[in-house]
Amino acid sequence: MSSHVSLTRHLIEEQRAGRINADLRQLIAVVARACTSISIAVGKGALGGVLGDAGTGNVQGEAQKKLDVISNEILLEANAWGGHLAACASEEMEHCHPIPDAYPRGNYLLLFDPLDGSSNIDVNVSVGTIFSVLRCPEGVAAPGDEDFLQPGTAQVAAGYCIYGPQTTLVLTFGHGTHAFTLDREQGAFLLTREAIRIPEETKEFAINMSNQRHWEAPMQDYVRDLLSGKEGPRGKDFNMRWVASMVADVHRILTRGGIFIYPWDRKDPSKAGKLRLMYEANPMSFLVEQAGGAATNGRARIMDIAPAELHQRVPVFLGSRAEVEAATRYHLDHD
Ligand code: AHG
């Protein structure tokens, strides 16, 4: 018998402590089961015929991988009949997906990026599922896209599941961030890191440097100072990592600290950045803040942003608190 606490037991204990209700407990258990299925599909790779392009595009105009489509279907199917949800919204679908009339509707809204970092699937590098849970506004029987437009501070739960050498579910209900590793023999997630704390300071940054020439002036200044090392104004040598899977980069930061940045760049006249507020930035910000880190759009806290649309994009600066504050200061001082 493993000495680790199972996710099932953790959820029941959270319910007993009055931090979640039975519906939210069951909703997260269903999401975890769906992630186990996605992990199995990802793990089969070429043997399961799941690699490569699906031959379709998503609402963002991005080419979909077969596993993007499979993961989206697994999450939709698993969450349709439980009775805990009023509707789902997915990065892969233009509009939200109400729970079919054949099933009872619950009081929660689930948002997910079914397979983040999917350009990494075919090269056998970590990918993941990111999710966020909101309350359905009171009195709304059939939620529409507008009912999802709540700030990150309204999230009641958020998490991701990383499919890497290990499959690990990282979860918060607003009372700390905890990690559960999938025991593949038991088919159960087991608590392996409780109350994660991100180191305040770091010497490691994650950014796609190939976009450097497109960044705005304060971003150029900030990274120039990081790269100037011990002799520069920051007074230390920085290391760089970039997996190009946000889940993998955030997982590393939750493990040993660091700063992850996807800034706005001049290729995008809307100044919005690449990552999606509702499916990526808000849930990751919630997890990082609950682990003692910080998350801004370079100027203001991400979780305070009032969303205007479901697929809104946002610049993201998150990770070790002191470093996120330093990067944010470069932008504020410049304005
Ligand atoms: P996708 O899911 O389309 O592969 O995008 C991944 C996201 C995010 O996970 C990652 O941090 C970032 O895009 C990588 O962007 P670059 O391609 O610019 O490296």
Q: What is the model's pLDDT at position 65?
A: 84
pLDDT of residue 268: 87
Atom 17 in ligand 1: residue holding the nearest Cα: 244
Query: Is the minimum distance from the CB of 208 to ligand 1 under 6 angstroms?
Result: yes
Ligand 1 atom 2: the closest Cα is on which residue? 117
Whole-number Å distance between alpha carbons of 22 and 116: 29
Contact assessment for residue 291 and residue 274, using Cβ atoms and an 8 Å cutoff: no
Answer whether 152 contacts ligand 1 (Cβ < 6 A). Answer: no
Residue 118 CB–ligand 1 contact under 6 Å: yes
Does the Cβ of 62 fall within 6 Å of ligand 1?
yes
Q: How far is CA 177 from CA 6, 67, 292, in A?
A: 15, 27, 9
Residue nearest to atom 4 of ligand 1 (CA): 117
Write down the pLDDT at residue 116.
95
pLDDT score, position 51: 85
Q: For ligand 1, say whether the CB of 274 is within 6 Å of any of its atoms.
A: yes
Q: Report how far ligand 1's centroid is from the alpha carbon of 243 (Å).
A: 9
Contacts of 45 (CB under 8 A, 6+ apart): 51, 124
Other residues' Cβ atoms within 10 Å of the Cβ of residue 174: 15
Closest CA to 133 of 155, 114, 160: 155
Q: Which residue numbers belong to the known binding site for Mg(2+)?
A: 91, 113, 115-116, 280
156: tokens are 């009641």
Q: Could you count the other beta carbons within 10 Å of the beta carbon of residue 197? A: 13
Q: Supply the pLDDT for residue 190.
A: 98
pLDDT of residue 228: 97
Beta strands in the chain (DSSP E): 53-57, 63-65, 85-90, 97-98, 108-116, 127-135, 157-163, 167-172, 177-183, 188-193, 204-206, 239-240, 259-262, 294-296, 316-319
In the structure encoding, which two tokens stand for residue 262, read together?
A: 């996807």
Residue 274 C-alpha to ligand 1 middle, in angstroms?
8
CA–chain centroid gap for 52, Å, is: 23
Per-residue pLDDT of the chain (335 residues; tens, 9 = 90+): 568 999 999 999 999 999 999 999 999 999 999 999 999 999 998 898 878 887 777 777 777 888 989 999 999 999 998 899 999 999 999 999 999 888 888 999 999 999 999 889 889 999 999 999 999 999 998 899 999 999 999 999 999 999 999 999 999 999 999 999 999 999 999 999 999 999 999 999 999 999 999 999 999 999 999 999 999 999 999 999 999 999 999 999 999 999 999 999 998 888 899 999 999 999 999 999 999 999 999 999 999 999 999 999 999 999 999 999 999 999 999 99
Within 8 A by CB and 6+ apart from 282, the residues are 132, 151, 152, 155, 158, 302, 303
Ligand 1 atom nearest the C-alpha of 245 is 9
Amino acid at 10: H
Handedness of CA 217, 222, 226, 229 (dihedral sign): positive
The rounded distance, in Å, linking the Cα atoms of 282 and 264 is 17
Ligand 1 center from residue 208 Cα (angstroms):
9
pLDDT of residue 327: 98
Mutate to test the pocket of ligand 1, among 68, 112, 116 (most ligand atoms within 8 A of CB): 116
Complex ipTM: 0.97
DSSP annotation of 281: I
Residue with tokens 């009641």: 156
Provide the total of helices (H) and of strands (E) in the chain, helices listed first.
Answer: 7, 15
Atom of ligand 1 nearest to the CA of 249: 11
Q: For residue 1, what pLDDT is reported?
A: 57
Half-sphere exposure of 165 (CA within 13 A, CB side): 1
48 CA from centroid of ligand 1 (Å):
24
The closest residue, in CA terms, to atom 16 on ligand 1 is 244
How far apart are the CA of 280 and the centre of ligand 1, in A?
11
